[in-house]
Amino acid sequence: MLLTVLGIAVFYIFATALIMFNVEMNNTLDDGTVVFGTFFDALYWATTTLTTVGYGDVFPVSDFGRVVSMISSVFGVAIIALPSGVITASYLEELRKNKSDNENNNTKPY
């Protein structure tokens, strides 16, 4: 399950980087620098957005780019939260098994 989530996250990073690179390809900041000069810049942006770090050094400037960014952030939180639930459920299941095993081993015959 966790490898599946990792695969989804990697696919998500590449897909959103590709979308953002195409959306912001010709956009520049006020000082004339290109926002996403290379695909690696877009990949870096997608990774920091997925992990909700968002350093702020690379960001979209167009309205459509900002919409893509907002959608990407929401889905990024969901992708990161998914394995947390799986890990928690597995941990609780192990605790239940240990408790059940301890109760069965500690019974005394009368």
Domain ranges of the chain: 2-104
- Asked if 2 contacts 66 with a C-beta cutoff of 8 angstroms, the reply is no
Whole-number pLDDT of residue 6: 85
Q: Which residue has the tokens 């605790």?
A: 95
Half-sphere exposure for 36 (CA within 13 Å, toward CB): 25
Mean predicted confidence (pLDDT) in 50-58: 80
CA distance 58 to 46: 10
pLDDT > 70: percent of the chain: 95
CATH architecture of 2-104: Orthogonal Bundle (1.10)
Write down the pTM of the prediction.
0.73
Tokens of 32: 């004339």
pLDDT confidence bin for 107, thresholds 50/70/90: low
Q: What is the pLDDT of residues 65-98, one digit of tens each?
A: 999 999 988 888 888 787 888 888 888 998 999 8
Phi, psi torsion values for 34, nearest 5 degrees: -75, 135
